[in-house]
Amino acid sequence: MAKPSWHLDRRTFLRGTGVSLALPLLDAMTNRGQAAERSERPRRICSVYFPFGVSLPPDDHEHSEWNWFPQGEGSEFRFTKTLSSLKSLRQDVTVLGGLSHPHGRSIGGHDTGDIFLTGASLKGSSYANSISLDQLVAQQIGDQTRFPSLTLSSDGGVGEPTRSTTLSFSRNGRPIPALSKPQQIFDRMFGEGDGEIQTQRRKLESSGTMLDLVLEHSRSLKRRLGKQDQQKFDEYIASVRAIEQRVERSQRWLDIPKPEIDSSSLALESSPEGPMEYIRTMYDLIYLAFQTDTTRVATYMLGQVAGATTVANTFPAFLGLAGNWHGLAHGAGKKGGYENLGRFDQFLAEQLSYFLTRLKETPEGDGSMLDSTLVFYGSSNSRTHNNHNYPLVLAGGGQLGLKHGQYLRFTEKTPLSNLFVTMLDRLNVSRDSFADSTGEMSELLA
Partner 1 sequence: MSRRCIFPLVLLMLQFLSAPTPGAETVSKSESRFKRLIQPVLAEHCFRCHGPEKHEADLRLDNLDVDFGNATSAETWHDVLNKLNLGEMPPEDEQQPSEAQFQQVVDWLTGGLELAAAAKRRSGGHVVLRRLTRYEYNNTMHDLLGIDLDFAKDLPPEPSSEDGFKNSGAALSISPLQIEFYLQAARTALAKAIVTGPRPEVYHHHAEESAPSRRKKEVTSNTVTPDARFVARLLDYPTEGEIVVRVTASAIVPKGEGYPPMRVTVGLRSDVLAPEEKLGEIDVTATVDDPQMYEFRGRIEQFPLPGHNPKYPGVLVTVWNDYDNGERKPLKRARRKKGDDPPPAPASNVPTIVIKSLDFEGPVFQSWPPNSHTRILFARDSEDDQQRYVRKVIQRFATRAYRRPATEEEVDLLLSFFNRIRDESPTFEEAIRETLAMVLISPEFLYLMEPHDGGKSKHPLTDFELASRLSYFLWSSMPDEKLFALAERGKLSEPDVVAKQVRDMVADPKSNNFVEHFTDQWLNLSGLDRVAVNPEYYPDFDDRLKPEMRKETQRFFAEILYEDLSAMNLIDSDFAMLNRRLAKHYGVTGPRGSEFERVALAADDRRGGLLTQGSVLLSNSTGEDSHPIRRAVWLLDRLLDSPPAPPPPDVPELNQGEPDLLGLPLKKQLELHRQKDSCNRCHRRIDPWGIPFESYDAVGQWRSEVLRVAKKGRDTRTPVVASAILPGGHEVDGLEQLKVYLLTQESKRFSRALVIKLLTYSLGRSLELADEAVVESLTTQFAAADYRLSDLIIAIAQSEPFQHN
Q: For residues 41-70, which are near partner 1 according to CB under 8 A?
A: 58
Q: In the bound complex, what is the minimum distance in angstroms from residue 297's beta carbon to partner 1?
A: 15
Stretch that binds partner 1, among 32-40, 134-142, 161-169, 413-421 (CB under 8 A): 161-169
> Which residues face 373 on adjacent strands?
44
Residue 274 found at the interface with partner 1 (CB under 8 A):
yes
Sole binder of partner 1 in the list 206, 428, 433, 438 (CB under 8 A): 206
Stretch that binds partner 1, among 65-73, 287-295, 313-321, 343-351 (CB under 8 A): 313-321
Q: In the bound complex, what is the minimum distance in angstroms from residue 216's beta carbon to partner 1?
A: 8
Q: In the bound complex, what is the minimum distance in angstroms from residue 411's beta carbon to partner 1?
A: 17
User: Where are the strands (E) in 10-144, listed by range?
Assistant: 13-14, 44-49, 71-73, 76-78, 93-97
Residue 361 found at the interface with partner 1 (CB under 8 A):
no
Residue numbers 423-442 binding partner 1 by CB under 8 A: none
> Do residues 286 and 150 touch, judged by C-beta distance below 8 A?
yes
Long-range contacts for 66-71 (Cβ within 8 Å, ≥24 apart)? 66/338, 66/339, 66/341, 66/342, 66/343, 66/345, 66/346, 67/338, 67/342, 68/342, 68/345, 68/391, 69/95, 69/97, 69/391, 69/407, 70/95, 70/407
Residue numbers 245-264 binding partner 1 by CB under 8 A: 246, 263-264
CA 227 – CA 266 distance, rounded (Å)? 48
Residue numbers 80-119 binding partner 1 by CB under 8 A: 105-111
Stretch that binds partner 1, among 91-99, 125-133, 363-371, 428-436 (CB under 8 A): 125-133
Residue 265 found at the interface with partner 1 (CB under 8 A):
no
Q: Which region holds residue 104: left if phi is over 0, alpha if psi is between -120 and 50, else beta?
A: alpha
Stretch that binds partner 1, among 123-131, 251-259, 364-372, 405-413 (CB under 8 A): 123-131
| Dihedral sign computed on CA atoms, order 339, 315, 112, 48 | positive
Residue numbers 373-392 binding partner 1 by CB under 8 A: 383-388
Q: In the bound complex, what is the minimum distance in angstroms from residue 235's beta carbon to partner 1?
A: 5
Q: In the bound complex, what is the minimum distance in angstroms from residue 106's beta carbon to partner 1?
A: 6
Sole binder of partner 1 in the list 15, 232, 361, 439 (CB under 8 A): 232
33 vs 226, beta carbon nearer partner 1 = 226
**Pairing status of strand 71-73 against strand 76-78:** antiparallel
Sole binder of partner 1 in the list 317, 363, 409, 431 (CB under 8 A): 317
Residue 18 found at the interface with partner 1 (CB under 8 A):
no
Nearest CA to 30 among 299, 204, 249? 249
Q: In the bound complex, what is the minimum distance in angstroms from residue 294's beta carbon to partner 1?
A: 16
Total chain residues near partner 1 (CB under 8 A): 94
Under DSSP, the state recorded for 5 is P
Q: In the bound complex, what is the minimum distance in angstroms from residue 285's beta carbon to partner 1?
A: 14
119 vs 159, beta carbon nearer partner 1 = 159
Tell me the residue type at 316.
Answer: P
Nearest CA to 435 among 67, 197, 115, 188? 115
User: Where are the strands (E) in 104-202, listed by range?
Assistant: 150-153, 159-160, 163-164
Q: In the bound complex, what is the minimum distance in angstroms from residue 128's beta carbon to partner 1?
A: 12
How many residues can be counted in the chain?
A: 446
Q: In the bound complex, what is the minimum distance in angstroms from residue 251's beta carbon to partner 1?
A: 14
Residue 242 found at the interface with partner 1 (CB under 8 A):
yes
Cα dist. 408→9, 19, 98, 371, 393 in Å?
46, 32, 9, 20, 10
**Pairing status of strand 297-301 against strand 260-261:** unpaired
72 vs 318, beta carbon nearer partner 1 = 318
Nearest CA to 15 among 263, 365, 193? 263
27 vs 244, beta carbon nearer partner 1 = 244
What DSSP string runs through 27-84? HHHH-TT-HHHHTSPP-EEEEEE-SS------TTSTTGGG-SSPEEEBTEEE--STTG
Cα dist. 143→25, 130, 328 in Å?
16, 21, 42
Residue numbers 170-189 binding partner 1 by CB under 8 A: 174-180, 183-184
Sole binder of partner 1 in the list 39, 224, 411, 413 (CB under 8 A): 224
Q: In the bound complex, what is the minimum distance in angstroms from residue 444's beta carbon to partner 1?
A: 28
Q: In the bound complex, what is the minimum distance in angstroms from residue 356's beta carbon to partner 1?
A: 27
